């Protein structure tokens, strides 16, 4: 998965939040609403999300985490466990007399 540079994501997230505040202050202004929706769409494309709210949340997670941990969160994969080999579990062991 190819992700944008963090500086680019941060710039677009700041722009989205600024236009969000302006839109909430003047919801009837069509120019502000249109620009806000455009910035949301750009964030959606950058983060690969369908909704601007999800894209903003994903951008914030991406900016505060490392790339590896962000990808693990997005794919839902758990952290890899360290496996040590110590032989079969106790329930699988048989005594020599029972073989």
| Residue 66: per-residue pLDDT | 74
Contacts of 70 (CB under 8 A, 6+ apart): 3, 61, 62
pLDDT confidence of residue 38 = 97
The pLDDT, as a whole number, for residue 91 is 60
pLDDT at residue 2 in the model: 74
The pLDDT of residue 45: 94
What is the pLDDT at residue 56?
96
Burial class (CB in 10 A: 0-12, 13-18, 19+), 33: middle
pLDDT < 50 stretches in the chain: none
Tokens of 51: 């909704």
């Amino acid at each position: 998965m190819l992700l944008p540079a963090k500086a680019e994501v941060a710039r677009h997230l700041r722009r989205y939040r600024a236009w969000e505040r302006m839109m909430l202050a003047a919801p009837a202004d069509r120019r502000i609403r249109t620009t806000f929706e455009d910035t949301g769409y750009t964030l959606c494309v950058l983060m690969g999300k369908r909704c601007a709210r999800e894209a903003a949340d994903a951008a914030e997670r991406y900016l505060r985490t490392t790339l590896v941990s962000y990808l693990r969160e997005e794919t839902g994969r758990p952290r890899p466990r360290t496996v040590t080999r110590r032989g079969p579990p106790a329930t699988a062991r048989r005594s020599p007399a029972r073989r």
